[in-house]
A = this chain, B = another copy of it.
Amino acid sequence: MSTTRARLLEQVADDSQRHYADYMLFNQAMADHLGLHPTDLQCVSLLDLESAPVSVGDVARLTGLTSGSATRLVDRMVKAGLVERHPDPHDRRRQLVALAPEARARIGAAWDEPGRAFVAVLDSYSDDELRLIADYLRKAAAVGRDQAARLAGGGQA
């Protein structure tokens, strides 16, 4: 591998790290702005992404919290009117968690301007370029997921 190639790889890795740092900052600012704990906002985001019903245990898995903490997270969010708890008709032990419609609107409104700015960036790329970016995002996400799994339990299992 040539030196310039190595340098390019290093450069992208560095850009990636800075990119994540800025994202974290944005995420905290957004949570503050909405009067939420960062974890709560993360949970909202997760619920927004999932089309299938999500149980409290799923919340725990998706956030990396323990089951007890997930219960309290949902408690908090129900109290704040962000989500609703519904018993699972197929398993009476489980509670399904769903975004409250009113919360979806409220959070959606807060995403309005950041979303516009972000889409403006995306819109500066061609279709092919966007497909490449999407491909990268999916592959990087897969690495994150795999490595998280490895660190969490894969080590000794």
Interface residues of A (CB under 8 A from B): 5, 8-9, 11-30, 32-33, 42, 45-46, 48-49, 62-64, 113-115, 117-119, 121-125, 127, 129-134, 136-152
Contact = CB atoms under 8 A, between A and B. Distances in A.
Given A29-B148, A141-B18, A144-B23, A11 B49 contact: no
A111 to B, nearest CB: 10
A9 B132 contact: no
Q: Work out how many copies of this chain go into the complex.
A: 2
A107 to B, nearest CB: 12
B148 A26 contact: yes
Given A25-B144, A145-B25, A12 B134 contact: yes
